[in-house]
Structure 1
């Protein structure tokens, strides 16, 4: 039997992240960790630097050819990343 103030562990963690305003940072960190899963190992192995600042994803790649390919599918990458996060975490992608 469940009491009225009982919460699942998932609900309690989500509430804690909201209260302490850590949800966005948590989502950003999860996206960085999921980069190889989202883009595949071929792209992940050629990624030298990946970070998020002010809702922008900054990507530094080893290959200029790969960079040009990813620039062309920038909106699809953005959609995949936001879909993985479950909310709109990123607004823009910047290639360095």
Structure 2
């Protein structure tokens, strides 16, 4: 049974407790990474992005343009760094472009 929070707990503390007890962080990471990709890459890349999926610590991105996939493959380390900086912690360790 979850511990009872005192009456003076903030909403943020209560939500963190709920996420921790119910193990919801992994699902939230999937949503956060998808949003970070869309905001960091801009409309040019997003127009050619078909699917964004986080499995474990690997980000899988399906692109419709082979040329764009090749160009982005040269900057995988920078993409990982940018996404982790945007999220404020290390969520992604590798990027696979398909």
* Range into which the TM-score falls when normalised by the shorter chain: 0.7 to 0.9
Superposed displacement of residue 42, structure 1: 0.7
Unpaired segments ≥5 residues, structure 1: none
TM-score when normalising by structure 1: 0.85
Q: Which structure 1 residue ranges, 4+ long, deviate > 3 Å from structure 2?
A: none
Give the superposed CA RMSD: 1.6
SS at 1:24's partner residue? helix
Query: TM-score, normalised to structure 2's length?
Result: 0.84
Name the counterpart of 2:22.
Answer: 20
Where does residue 32 of structure 1 map in the other structure? 34
Q: How many residues align?
A: 93
Structure 2 gap segments, 5+ residues each? none
Match of 2:74 in 1: 72
Conservation of the 8 A alpha-carbon contact between 2:36 and 2:87: no
